[in-house]
Amino acid sequence: MSKKLMHALHYTSYGGGPSGLKHVEVPIPTPSKDEVLIKLEAASVNPFDWKVQKRMLWPLLPLKFPHIPCTDVAGEVIEVGRGVKKFKVGDKVVGFVSPFSGGGLAEFAVVKESRTASRPSEIPASQCAGLPVAGLTALQALTESVGIKLDVSGERKNILITAASGGVGHYAVQLAKLGNTHVTATCGARNIELVKSLGADEVIDYKTPDGAALKSPSGKKYDAVIHCAEGFPWSTFDPNLSAKAKVVDITPSPNAMMTFAFKKLTFSKKQLVPLLLIPKGKNLQFLVDLVKEGKLKTVIDSKYPLSKAEDGWARSIDGHATGKIIFET
């Protein structure tokens, strides 16, 4: 018996950018043990997705061609695999699709139960579809890498968040302000008021001299930096850091990895910490619950139907999105 087909976008080789994405009809996947099949209502693109296409994660990803990109999905469970206990058909969910198998840019996707969270039906899928990569990255950086408690307890910390109007950055500002923090943020001039509205205590235009130097307008030294922008050598951070500061780099370059190793080898009290996201369902559920409580929101840059997903892909590559780019099916 022939399998039912679904609309998806895939690419068959490295490179090509938006034009490398091809609209195809492929079989609807079947959930294996401990997996759920989701009928997508929304998905989101992250820079990680097009960096894979540009061969920047070779030889790790993708495992094979053709490859359906995107890991962030939200929708409704329509089938459960063996061993699934937490979810049933009809449940509204948000999930993290394995980047090794891929599959998020499609009408249906399979997700591990352990990387899935319940979503209240009253919360639009578009408000949750951006959480799996960007939200979890911000949460892991703040709570695990830096040690901030999101209940206003603990010692007060001065935090710098670069590229604070981007996907990870706009979540990081909101989450940081749930802790005992003073937040300095950088972004473009057009987004200063937005970032202030998310809770930042002071915001710097990254194109000004102080923005380029990452200097706090109030003269504070940073106890931690959530570095969401590209570039910036260690020498730019160093004079702005407190004695035991950590710089958490969410997209570490080879130079950043060398700095990380050097700081470790020399027992420096100031540390550069490269972040490798470890997605967990319980952390994703924590974020969804914050959305439900009105303590966290997704700023949506733009929405695209699946039929125009390549336009959203191009928008992400352009690098100037404010918040998240969402695909709707």
CA distances, 306 to each of 9, 12, 129, 245, 326 (Å): 8, 18, 14, 43, 10
Ordered domains of the chain (ranges, CATH): 5-119+299-328 (3.90.180.10), 133-274 (3.40.50.720)
Average pLDDT over the chain reads 94
The pLDDT of residue 265 is above 90: no
H/E element, 44 = strand 35-44
Report pLDDT digits (tens) over 246-259.
999 998 666 766 77
pTM for the whole thing? Answer: 0.95
- Residue 152: predicted pLDDT: 85
- The confidence band for 147, taking pLDDT boundaries of 50, 70 and 90, is very high
The pLDDT of residue 49 is above 70: yes
**Alpha carbons 134 and 237: distance in angstroms, whole number:** 23
SS3 280: coil
Least reliable range by pLDDT among 90-94, 119-123, 251-255: 251-255
- The confidence band for 94, taking pLDDT boundaries of 50, 70 and 90, is very high
**Alpha carbons 243 and 65: distance in angstroms, whole number:** 48
**Alpha carbons 96 and 248: distance in angstroms, whole number:** 22
Query: How many Å from the N-terminal Cα to the C-terminal Cα in the chain?
Result: 26
**Alpha carbons 43 and 129: distance in angstroms, whole number:** 5
- Residue 212: predicted pLDDT: 96
H/E element, 95 = strand 92-96
Closest C-alpha to 152, from 287, 297, 295: 295
- The confidence band for 1, taking pLDDT boundaries of 50, 70 and 90, is very low
- Residue 57: predicted pLDDT: 78
**What's the chain's Rg over C-alpha atoms?**
20
**Alpha carbons 298 and 174: distance in angstroms, whole number:** 10
**Alpha carbons 1 and 199: distance in angstroms, whole number:** 55
- Residue 256: predicted pLDDT: 63
Contact 162, 169 (CB under 8 A): yes
**What are residue 248's DSSP bridge partners?**
226, 273
- Residue 2: predicted pLDDT: 52
